[in-house]
Amino acid sequence: MKVGLALSGGGARGFAHLGVLKALEEANIKVDMLSGASAGSMAAAFYSYGYKPEEILKIFESTSLLKLVWPAFSFTGLLSIQKTESVYKNFLEEDTFEDAKIPLYISTTNLNEGKAEMFSSGSLRQAIMASCCIPFIFDPIKIGTDYYVDGGILNNLPTEVLKEKGCDFIIGVNVAPVIKEPNLSGPKRMIERVSVLALSANVSYSSKFCDMYIKPAELRKFGTFDFKKSRELFEIGYEYTKSMLETPDNKKLELLLNQPKTA
């Protein structure tokens, strides 16, 4: 059974993706294809290159990588996301999709065309930076003749591409749940709220393609900028996924879990 895994955007809550990956590995579920948007594109890219979940967590923590792509907001003008490229160079040296050990698709928004666009070839670093490029905060990333921004705007849970590419079992991980927000005081909270709503607007449709939909409710109490809670977010993703795997709710998941174990 060919397994596809889609990872959503969600700022610091993206640390939960790494816990999900750890739980899947422990259940001996081999991921055959990956897709990701925004913070999810980062986790998907590093995992596709062969890094283990705990390794990725340490890289993100030690380099403050997620914090670099979700900065504290200011009104001094647009920032450049290019400063993150030096971090990617240290760990994704080849800078190609072709060198990934697992086929990878990264969701972006093409501003010129006004549509979602999926990258699976070319510069991996440029694709990740485009997928994480928050509008009005960062300068858009130019790839070829077009400009790109955050993939989560139009496709925050890129499951469709996994279906199109022949995955038999699709796992979707949504780390940006929406609940009522009573406090919207200040520009930082307002922009964070708008970004979360934008990321979540298209997930309802994409989640319909999931055979296993992972959406930890506990993540609701965390904000986009809770970078110091990386380990706690990691553990939430891990424990939630582990509990789902221990009590499968559909025959397809049971079949996947009962497949012959691979080395």
Give first-to-last CA distance, the chain, whole Å.
16
Active-site entry in 8, 32, 35, 38: 38
What separation in angstroms does the CA of 201 have from each of 71, 158, 175? 22, 13, 13
The DSSP bridge partners found for residue 29 are none
List all residues 6 or more positions away from 28 whose beta carbon is below 8 Å from its beta carbon.
Answer: 261, 262
Question: Among residues 81, 63, 45, which one has the least CA distance to residue 230?
Answer: 63
Contact status, residue 4 vs residue 256, Cβ threshold 8 Å: no
> How many whole angstroms separate alpha carbon 163 and alpha carbon 167?
5
| CB contact at 8 A, 61 and 80 | no
Given the residues 41, 150, 200, 206, the one annotated as active site: 150
Can 38 be counted among the known catalytic residues? Answer: yes
CA pair distance 84, 81, nearest whole angstrom: 6
Report the alpha-carbon distance of residue 254 to residue 249 in Å, rounded: 8
Q: Is residue 253 helix, strand or coil?
A: helix
Q: Is 196 exposed, middle or buried (0-12, 13-18, 19+ CB in 10 A)?
A: buried
Which residues have a catalytic role annotated?
A: 38, 150
